[in-house]
Structure 1
Amino acid sequence: MTDSPARPAPLADPHLVYDPLAGDGPKDVVILGSTGSIGTQAIDLVLRNPDRFRVTALSANGGRVALLAEQARRLWVRTVAVAREDAVPALREALAAEYGAGEPLPEILAGPDAATQVAASPCHTVLNGITGSIGLAPTLAALEAGRTLALANKESLIVGGPLVKALAKPGQIIPVDSEHAALFQSLAAGTRADVRKLVVTASGGPFRGRTRDELADVTVQDALAHPTWAMGPVITINSATLVNKGLEVIEAHLLYDIPFDRIEVVVHPQSYVHSMVEFTDGSTIAQATPPDMRGPIAIGLGWPERVPDAAPAFDWSKASTWEFFPLDNEAFPSVNLARHVGQLAGTAPAVFNAANEECVEAFLGGALPFNGIMETVTRVVEEHGTPATGTSLTVSDVLEAETWARARARELTATTATAEARA
């Protein structure tokens, strides 16, 4: 990271935020999930561009208070939020150690609603980098408050699709996933009526080329060894099962209103092309950069302006090979299952996502084999059946469906573990 910027003067009016058309100074940003992979890379981008961005608030789970306190001081934020109330004493101590004598400490918010509170606080853009469906409430709060939402938390859109879309105004959501940032940029090459299909690329994860039988005995360490991206454990396992790609198919459908039968997944091991749009005249527009999430983050924070040197560019003087392969749906059934729940809509995507989160945790803890993740998720989805859909969906419906799915996934996981122990 670069040196800390000078402490900014307080806003004369806390409700006056950056107007990108007026050019009146740095854009005020709130970062949710600041100590995670997306959050730390976003902060690196902000510290390198203090003339463009000013962070006013941070939120995190509370497991890395020393890092959170360091971030707060380097950015001179007004508010720090943690989900874990028991982390507050350690956070106060860490902040006191970071700030100089006599320096006022930032406000601290704590509890399960803390991120939601800062998501609605005065700012221009909220970057939601939280992992999991717990990001839904902050997503809704940011949209309802009229903030631009830089969305890296795909789960909130997936589990609460109709709720999110009902609140979002045109252009209010800027996707931060590398695939959806690529589609976002590629779609600008034509009108929506010109689009034949969206092509979402997948690295294939650490198990590309293996059959389903060959995946039966893979270990946690094997699954965490992603060949391209450095991510948290849950996202890395989701990339190994390709659940992450299934979620991205649902996300692409919701973001761009393209039918599921016109959203294709192809395997691209180099992860240079982040996704493509095929138009009706036969042209395909691809967005390509070396794998680096700071590029999509810069699109999310800076749009409609681009941030110079946000991420590395290709050296076109060097030879390289770019490969594309069809997806093996037998070895990786997660993408087709995701299409199925996406078409069911209603609470089905929430059930799919919640069951998967429980199964990934069980796999990481040694209680479920790798193939057991999707086997269990599939069974939970089948037992859930066809959900009610349409405008009647509520947050309570989503939470109730998630609670049932988590409980059922845990029951099935326990049954699997017992059967294996007896065998």
Structure 2
Amino acid sequence: MPSEQWTHPEPGDGPAAVAAQPSPEQVIAGLRATSEGGAELTQLLTPEGERVPSPQFDKYVEDIDAEALRGLYRDMVLVRRADREANAMQRQGQLGIWVPLLGQEAAQIGSGRALKKNDMAFPSYREHGVAYARGVDMKDLLGIFRCTDHSGWDYQGTGFHPYTIVIGNQVLNAAGYAMGQKFEGKVGDDDGEATICYFGDGATSQGDVHEGFVWAAVYDAPLVFFCQNNQWAISEPTERQSRLPLYQRARGYGFPGIRVDGNDVLACLAVSRWALDECRHGNGPVLIEAFTYRMDAHTTTDDPTRYRLSDELEEWKLKDPIERVRAFLARGGYADQAFFDSVQAEADSFAADLRDYTFNMPEPPPERIFSNVYAEGNPVLDAQREEFLSYLDGFATAGEH
């Protein structure tokens, strides 16, 4: 069987490979055959930083001038620097775990900046860039990974739902929320609302995701399904999970699917704006597959060297989402070295602030775990709290007898 068929077979290319384990040569050949995401990939900035015109999507980024693009570059640099700092802090015992986003900054900042104030985003557990774009203080994310908090932000005010750890479960939550937007008449014009839901390629194998597809399709829910296909569902490559490119799965549910270069912040912004616009006007759900790559481990408990080759990582480094914007800005004379240095200095200061906060983060009192469980008082929960605190008090007074 041709080695190229190990990954993402297009219609007419023949069946997907079915052997139990691809050889290293097959993995690399498959990657190179589809490294740009296929013929239907939407791209506005090449890895070399060259602008690609798009008759369909250029109108969605007409407002993105040089200043706005510098802002997107700044967003990605700050988010990456914060991510690297959090990764280091986990290694130093300050966080219980960390979920890196390295390499996925363009997909998250592009789609996050496409959202309007009244839209709602449902993340999984890796969407630190979307949180930043929605105005969530990144310090509030750290309590989750230090195991001292559930979520410390106002999810209604920011339009950013708490993180979801159960794989794919947020898709059902998002489908229900979007159905509510439809039932309450909040769609139908330019001022309509929309919802976006983030999940990875691995989550597409979960039943919750497919149930969300069904409900959203049946009720024309204003929901954008945003799949960050980073090629590896923990240790399983995408071709082991699907015979077709993931964006083509939308056909079976009766709504459009599109594949975008997930390392191209401009394309992610344009495609997300288009999809959200479709939803807010009442045209039903849309599936976006952001074709990107996870350049770090799945989490800090994972060792990716056990299941993928260094050649793969080196090839994707050439498609770095930040470097392509930097190249475009520099080549066009839209930014000089002083600008790049100032952004890096700001990012370092941003990371240092997060680090100082984490190292001095106060430990919450034991009763904190009972807070904000219900909107109003609950006698059962109150009884559990009193019993638990009484139990802890027993340890404090044990030495007095």
TM-score interval, smaller chain: under 0.3
Which structure has greater strand proportion? 1
- TM-score, length-normalised on structure 2? 0.26
- TM-score, length-normalised on structure 1? 0.25
Whose RCO is larger (CA < 8 A, sep 6+)? 2
